A = this chain, B = another copy of it.
Amino acid sequence: MIWASGWRLAAAVSEAGGLGLIGSGSMKPEVFQEHVRKCKASTNQPFGVNIPLLYPHTDAHIDTILEEQVGIVFTSAGNPKKYTARLKSAGIKVVHVVSSSTFALKAQDAGCDAIVAEGFEAGGHNGREETTTMVLIPAVKKSVQIPVIAAGGIGTGAQMLAAFALGAEGVQMGSRFVASEEASSHLAFKEKVLQTKEGDTQLSLKRLTPVRLIKNEFFNLVNAAELRGASDEELQHLLGRGRSKKGMFEGDMTEGELEIGQVSALFDKILPAGEIVRDTWQAFLDAKSCIQHIGE
């Protein structure tokens, strides 16, 4: 949810009854602090923050979280051992994002309160095992005792119900909220997300860090380099810096890196985030009553 999930989106989701998350991955320390403060000022409901642990500003972000008394932290892309104890000793709930049972167990051992298990179909950074949500959730449920939040391929009430059927205790939706009014993503990117069809995204950069991207010109360049056996250094050079900002925040649909999940194939409208939360919940209840009669 880099370049998408600032205080406006997080507050709108929390106000509607979801747990809004501020995505700190794209934020410098002072920007992150501002977003946390504005979110606190905008809602009395609980909200959380997501911290990718391998990003440069993690230490400063953790300090902000402690100072501002943010109650819930989702960590990802790194070792949950490093910060969990410190956060938990301040009374903060810690949830770690994983892509396999092995990493889920490590998060549990590190003292995390819950995990997000994210399948292959999810947008952005992803695991090397390529396990889909349909298989990952039951596998992770067999492995850990802490609550499991399902992610990857979940953007509708029916998909939310499917995740609960698989044993999840909650769902995390990202892509659907990129195409919301409150997302800070560029309008050109939001419209691109609506146009995305089945097969229009692909897990890319598997040798570096796997990431699901829309197949635009930038993707084609990277993909061609991978296919001809380019070195890691060549790939890094091609990637350059600021590609995701260029695409998702500045709206360059050609040269930018565009991260979104497969589920974007199902969306056809940019909606207010609160409406997405309420519609999803109603569709969840409707889907539940649709399957109630089966086998009776």
Binding site for B on A (CB under 8 A): 100-102, 119-121, 127-136, 138-139, 142, 152-154, 156, 158-159, 161-167, 198-199, 202-203, 227-229, 262-263, 265-266, 281, 284-285, 287-288, 291-292, 294-295
Contacts and interface: CB of A to CB of B under 8 A. Distances in A.
25 contacts: A100-B198, A100-B199, A119-B132, A120-B120, A121-B131, A121-B135, A130-B199, A130-B202, A131-B262, A132-B132, A132-B133, A132-B153, A134-B134, A134-B153, A134-B154, A134-B263, A142-B266, A158-B166, A158-B167, A159-B166, A161-B165, A227-B229, A288-B291, A288-B292, A288-B294
A159 B265 CA distance: 22
B138 A156 contact: yes
A129 B198 contact: yes
A291 to B, nearest CB: 5
A203 B129 CA distance: 11
Given A158-B167, A161-B291, A162-B166, A198 B134 contact: no
A139 B266 contact: yes
B161 A134 contact: no
Contacts of A132: 119-121, 132-134, 152-153, 262
A83 to B, nearest CB: 26
A262 B135 contact: yes
Contacts of A134: 119, 121, 132-134, 152-154, 159, 162, 263
A142 B132 CA distance: 21
Sorted nearest first, the 10 A-B pairs with minimum C-beta distance are A129-B199, A134-B153, A162-B162, A161-B165, A162-B165, A132-B132, A121-B132, A135-B262, A135-B153, A133-B134
A162 B166 CA distance: 6
Nearest to A161: B165
Contacts of A281: 295
A226 to B, nearest CB: 9
Given A120-B120, A135-B159, A165-B165, 15 more contacts: A121-B135, A128-B199, A130-B202, A131-B199, A131-B265, A132-B132, A132-B262, A134-B162, A136-B198, A138-B159, A158-B166, A159-B165, A161-B291, A165-B288, A288-B291
A294 B292 CA distance: 13
A100 B139 CA distance: 26
Contacts of A285: 295
Nearest to A287: B165
A115 to B, nearest CB: 14
Contacts of A100: 198-199
A106 to B, nearest CB: 14
B198 A135 contact: yes
Contact of A229 (B162, B228, B265): B228
Contacts of A287: 165
A195 B199 CA distance: 31
